[in-house]
Amino acid sequence: MPVEVGKPVPDFSATATGDTTVTLSELRGKQVVIYFYPKASTPGCTTEGGDFRDNKAQFDAANTVIIGVSRDSLRAQENFKAKQDFNFELISDKDESVCQLFGVIKLKKMYGKEHLGVERSTFLIDREGKLAQEWRGVKVPGHVADVLAAAKALHTGS
C-alpha cells in the first residue's frame, strides 16, 4: 500500500549518487522533497531537475532536502547529476523498492504500446517524517514553484 498524506512514511535506505546512502529516518528534523522521474537525461526529467537545482537555495532556506529518484543505474544517475550540475543526490532504484513504497509504477503508453514505468510524482515529507503533500501525474512547467511554495508554507507553519 503506497504512502498516504498525513501518515508516517515508512523508513527506507537506498543507494544514491556521491557515494552516499539515503536513509529517510536520518533526515528527521528536515523537510524532504522526493521527486520521481521516468528516465535520466531525457528532456522533461532534465528540465525538472534543473528547476530543482536552480531553486535549491530557497529549499535550503525552508529546511528542505531535495532527492531525485529513478530506476536508472547508479552510473546513469552519476552521469546525469554531473552533466546537469545537480546540487542534490539522485537515488538509483533499480529494484523499484522506493518506487513501490510511493506507488509510482504505473501502466503507461508510448507509441501505442503499454509498459510499466515511473509516473512523474513528487512528495513533501514534514520534519517528523509524515507525508505532508503529494503531486502525482506531474506536468513539469511550474511544478517546482508549486513544491517550493508548499515547502515554505510547511516550514513557516502557514
What per-residue confidence (pLDDT) applies to 116? 84
What per-residue confidence (pLDDT) applies to 158? 66
Residue position matching grid coordinates 532504484: 93
Report the alpha-carbon distance of residue 107 to residue 46 in Å, rounded. 22
Domain boundary assignment for the chain: 13-153
Q: How does residue 109 score in pLDDT terms, banded at 50, 70 and 90?
A: confident
The fraction of the chain above a pLDDT of 90, given in percent, is 89
In tens, the pLDDT along 6-50 reads 999 999 999 999 999 999 999 999 999 999 999 999 999 999 999
| pLDDT over 90 at 108, yes or no | no
- Range with the poorest average pLDDT among 64-68, 113-117, 122-126, 141-145: 113-117
| pLDDT over 90 at 117, yes or no | no
Q: Mean pLDDT in the chain?
A: 94
Helix (H) / strand (E) element for 22: namely strand 20-23
State the average pLDDT over residues 64-86: 97
Catalytic residue among 3, 14, 24, 45: 45
In tens, the pLDDT along 137-148 reads 999 999 999 999
Report the alpha-carbon distance of residue 69 to residue 37 in Å, rounded. 6
- Is 99 assigned a catalytic role? no
For the chain, helix, strand, coil in percent to 5 are: 35, 30, 35
- Of 98, 107, 106, 105, residue with least CA distance to 125: 98
Options 3.40.30.10, 3.40.190.10, 3.10.290.10, 3.40.50.880; CATH for 13-153 is 3.40.30.10
